[in-house]
Amino acid sequence: MSVIHRTTLKPTKLELLTPWLPAQPWYAGAEGQRPELDRTGGFRLDDPAGEVGIEFMVVTDTSGPEPVSYHVPLTYRGAPLPGAEHALIGTTEHGVLGDRWVYDGAHDPVVAAQLYALLLGEAEPQMQRVSDTPDPSVVARFTGQRDAAGPTVTSVTSVTDAPHGTDITLTTASGGGPLILRVQRVLGPGEESDTEALGEVTADAPRPDGTRARAVFVTAHAQP
């Protein structure tokens, strides 16, 4: 279960994300605009191996005319992830765990596997800031073909960042063909779900007026 340490982090997560965010293809701010970020929501998943911290963070940028909320999956590792230099957001010093390598989680295979397990109801979402506490506000559904032996990702074949978000293409033990997990990066609380999607993960997110509503964080699609 997720253990939240009440300690220092230098630099902080928001300090790491502030220069990184404008370089992403899905960033909605103006060119040259420096984000002003607040941490406004999210949840966690557990790594079954207990090695990787997994957080699905919502940060809200208030630097523009209207606040914009972004979904940024993050992974925290005690050593560099081989071959993932392009996805490294930065390094930080954790007051308990020491040096941590912080990655854009959409490019981390541990996140792909656990998102797939979440969609199938085989992973329990955890509160973002409270240890060992499930988060019932995170809801997942999946209508696609299921694995008889459980949620098994056999490979991640590609990860593509684009203005609409990030597509993770993976194969599973179900034999039903490649599956695309689409990570929604710019959240639209209150927007309707994609009825053609095979599945989705929803959670609460802030509206520009300060209220909260359901937002789609991830959708699942069959590869065309």
Residues in Cβ contact with 211 at an 8 Å cutoff, skipping those fewer than 6 apart? none
Instruction: Determine, yes or no, domain membership for 97.
Output: yes
> What is the per-residue pLDDT across 62-74, written as a single tens digit (0 to 9) for each?
999 999 999 999 9
pLDDT tens string 128-150: 878 789 999 999 999 988 877 67
Nearest to 171 by CA among 196, 187, 151: 151
Q: Determine the Cα–Cα distance for residues 49 and 67; give it in Å rounded to an integer.
A: 37
In a domain? residue 15: yes
**What pLDDT is stored for residue 130 in this prediction?**
81
| Mean pLDDT, all residues of the chain | 91
Give domain status of residue 3, yes or no.
no
User: Domain for residue 2, yes or no?
Assistant: no
Which has the closest alpha carbon to 223: 175, 183, 164, 180? 180
H or E element in which residue 154 lies = strand 153-162
Spatial separation of the C-alpha atoms in residues 160 and 167, rounded to whole Å: 5
* Host domain of residue 200: 9-222
Rounded distance, CA 159 to CA 180, Å?
A: 9
Total number of domains in the chain = 1
Calculate mean pLDDT across residues 25-45.
94
Q: Which residue has the higher pLDDT, 31 or 6?
A: 31
Lowest-pLDDT choice from 92-101, 144-153, 210-219:
144-153
- How large is the greatest C-alpha to C-alpha distance in the chain, in angstroms? 50
For residue 81, being part of any structural domain is answered with yes
CA distance 37 to 41: 12
